[in-house]
Structure 1
Amino acid sequence: MHDWRNEDCIRILQRCKDAIHSREAGGKVIILEAVVGSTSAMISEEPQLLFDMVMLTVTEGEERDENEWKYLFTEAGFSSYKITHTIGFMSIIEVYP
């Protein structure tokens, strides 16, 4: 999702939401992405910010912090999400209808 503009991410997430079961039936979308400012203590924020600069110059996307991810999920009609930080740069984001 990091190489897409917000509008595109919202459309993609809306399509995903339409395609999955309800939360009660186990439906969720799993995203493996960086969450700027909230990774494992073993990785500093500098690599995240550098990768954000790459995304801004090479694509129309960007790395996002938790509030920016929350905005996308809310706009796409999801009710909640859970972020699990991994050892390293990426996080596992579970988004629920």
Structure 2
Amino acid sequence: MDTLTPAEVAQLLGTSPNRVRQLLRDRKLMAVPGSGNGKIPADFVQDGVVLKHLPGLLTVLHDGGFSDEEAFDWLFREDDSLPGTPVQALRDNRHTEVTRRAQALAL
């Protein structure tokens, strides 16, 4: 998995590193757990923006009781029924199925 620093993400988004750190604090973006917010998966940014449905999906996962580590693992775990990973499905604009699965896991 390719990762980016907050400064690199800021450059891609056309904003400041401080704004990226705020997105991380607000759980609208997620860093690799244990990286001290220093490594953000490149897959979370597409066409100069944070993946459209990522913030909402992160909210569903956290509200469902997922820790950062569990949410991160779930987002990048291969799922043959999708196919691929939930993050890849988000990148392919298949967010409805991913969100539905996250909601079901939270029950």
Bigger fraction of residues in helix? 2
- TM-score computed with the length of structure 2 as normaliser: 0.26
Bigger fraction of residues in strand? 1
Looking at both structures, which has the greater relative contact order when contacts are Cα pairs under 8 Å and sequence separation is at least 6? 1
- TM-score computed with the length of structure 1 as normaliser: 0.27
